[in-house]
Amino acid sequence: MTRPALTHDVRVIDTTLRDGSHAMAHQFTEDQVRDTVRALDGAGIEVIEVSHGDGIGGSSFNYGFSRTDELQLIAAAREEARTAKIAVLLVPGIGTADDLRRARDAGADMVRVATHCTEADVSPQHFGVARDLGMEAAGFLMMAHRTTPEDLAKQARIMVDAGCQVPYVTDSAGALLMHEARARFEALVAEVGDEAWIGYHGHQNISLGVANSVIAHEVGVRYIDGSLCALGAGSGNSPTEVLAAVFDRLGIDTGLDVLALLDAAEDVVRPYLPRWPKMDRNAIVQGWAGVYSSFLLHAEQAAERYKVPAHEILRRCGELGYVGGQEDMIIDVALGLADERRPR
């Protein structure tokens, strides 16, 4: 699979309707998806990601049930998008090849296969299915702070050799400092940059998602993710409208209408936000301790149930090194903290 042709210097991918599903507790309605896709498409966004926060097939007891079947949401997004492609996330072990085929039938044009940063070897079969379906294929190396730049590049090599067209430095915890992000971007560009585009997916837990996006472009990264109103896990993603404004100020061509994106954020997304993604104590602890951003709501729910502070749960998860897919362990952490607090 050859890498896709780019019509602009940077391709901003909007993930409001996927990563934002975490912040929405997976309660998106079809009308919200339709309105958001129309606004993003009209503002020039070329790829819009739509699926459960944990990817297709993620609606479950462990990760949270969707209010609306994601295939229905994908089909609605496809109907509303005039020029934008519709992408889905697939986490091997959560989503299956059959889930991907169903998503393709519903209208998905692109898949982003997500693995832990040291486990790219579980992705090749999914890239093979994407190739057979004629889908554009990207690869997420999640929790990218948890391995070295050199090893991350080796994992990107595994994905590219399997057919991945865009391996991503995925800062799932919003933990990467600027020099750490730069080192990872440079390593991937050096390893596979002649064969694939490099992507960056950032979170704002310690407020560096946008800054790291600028560094990414400087190094040669050409796919950069954002979400309207920063709607996403933890303190949210790099805000799409801010990325567009910053790149415009820098004279970097994105093909995006900044004012239209500001309207989309303010008039379409903000009214349905159940909570404004913010850098509060819990979210900052996630970035500081390197905790998977989607743990936030799970930790807050466990905190309320077991009467222990959410930030302590998150910090302990960081100490234990938990990664995406281990959300069920948050309950064990909360129970352990509750037991420590119990009078002896």
Q: Do 192 and 125 share a domain, yes or no?
A: yes
Q: Is 18 annotated as a binding residue?
A: yes
pLDDT in tens, 10-50: 999 999 999 999 999 999 999 999 999 999 999 999 999 99
Coil, strand or helix at 208: coil
Q: Do 224 and 324 share a domain, yes or no?
A: no
Mean pLDDT, to the nearest integer, of 120-128? Answer: 97
d(C-alpha 204, C-alpha 208), whole Å: 6
Angle between helices 97-106 and 124-133 (to 10 degrees): 30
Q: Do 42 and 92 share a domain, yes or no?
A: yes
pLDDT at 282 over 80: yes
Q: Do 326 and 231 share a domain, yes or no?
A: no
Q: Do 207 and 154 share a domain, yes or no?
A: yes
Range(s) of the domain holding residue 238: 11-272
pLDDT at 243 over 80: yes
Asked if residues 233 and 53 have their Cβ atoms less than 8 Å apart, the reply is: yes
Asked if residues 229 and 204 have their Cβ atoms less than 8 Å apart, the reply is: no
Q: Do 43 and 166 share a domain, yes or no?
A: yes
Q: Is 315 annotated as a binding residue?
A: no
Q: Do 55 and 109 share a domain, yes or no?
A: yes
pLDDT given for residue 225 in this prediction: 98
Asked if residues 9 and 252 have their Cβ atoms less than 8 Å apart, the reply is: yes
Cα dihedral 328, 114, 252, 208 sign: positive
pLDDT given for residue 191 in this prediction: 98
Q: Do 155 and 260 share a domain, yes or no?
A: yes
pLDDT at 55 over 90: yes
Mean pLDDT, to the nearest integer, of 148-157? Answer: 98
CA distances to 26, 91, 126, 163, 305 from 138, rounded to whole Å, are 23, 12, 11, 9, 38
Q: What is the DSSP string of 7-36?
A: SSS-EEEEEEETTHHHHTTT---HHHHHHH
- Token pair in block for residue 338: 């509750």
d(C-alpha 12, C-alpha 2), whole Å: 19
Higher pLDDT: 291 or 147? It is 147
Q: Is 19 annotated as a binding residue?
A: yes
Asked if residues 72 and 80 have their Cβ atoms less than 8 Å apart, the reply is: no
d(C-alpha 107, C-alpha 79), whole Å: 8
Q: Give a yes or no: residue 31 inside a domain.
A: yes
Mean pLDDT, to the nearest integer, of 204-224? Answer: 97
Tell me the CATH number at 260.
Answer: 3.20.20.70
pLDDT in tens, 300-342: 888 889 899 989 888 888 888 888 778 878 888 888 888 887 7
The overall average pLDDT reported for the chain is: 94
Q: Is 172 annotated as a binding residue?
A: yes
Q: Give a yes or no: residue 281 inside a domain.
A: no
pTM for the model:
0.92
d(C-alpha 43, C-alpha 49), whole Å: 15
Q: Do 215 and 129 share a domain, yes or no?
A: yes
Q: Give a yes or no: residue 51 inside a domain.
A: yes
d(C-alpha 337, C-alpha 306), whole Å: 9
Tokens 């297709």 belong to 56
pLDDT given for residue 267 in this prediction: 98
Coil, strand or helix at 123: coil
pLDDT given for residue 8 in this prediction: 96
What residue type is 308 in one-letter code? Answer: V
d(C-alpha 326, C-alpha 173), whole Å: 14
- Output phi, psi for 91, to 5 deg: -105, 110
Q: Give a yes or no: residue 107 inside a domain.
A: yes
pLDDT given for residue 329 in this prediction: 86
pLDDT at 61 over 80: no
Q: Is 63 annotated as a binding residue?
A: no
pLDDT given for residue 283 in this prediction: 87
Mean pLDDT, to the nearest integer, of 5-11? Answer: 95
Tell me the CATH number at 327.
Answer: 1.10.8.60
pLDDT at 164 over 90: yes
Q: Per-residue confidence at 64, pLDDT binned at 50, 70, 90? A: confident
Q: Is 52 annotated as a binding residue?
A: no
Q: Do 194 and 325 share a domain, yes or no?
A: no
Domain count, the chain: 2
% the chain with pLDDT above 90: 76
Q: Do 314 and 196 share a domain, yes or no?
A: no
Coil, strand or helix at 86: strand
pLDDT given for residue 277 in this prediction: 83
pLDDT given for residue 340 in this prediction: 81
Higher pLDDT: 40 or 295? It is 40
Residues with catalytic annotation? 22
Last residue within a domain, chosen from 241, 272, 303: 272
Q: Give a yes or no: residue 279 inside a domain.
A: no
Q: Per-residue confidence at 60, pLDDT binned at 50, 70, 90? A: confident
Tokens 């990467």 belong to 176
Mean pLDDT, to the nearest integer, of 221-230? Answer: 98
pLDDT given for residue 2 in this prediction: 84
Q: Which residues pair with 47 in a beta bridge?
A: 13, 85
Q: Do 64 and 154 share a domain, yes or no?
A: yes
% the chain with pLDDT above 70: 100
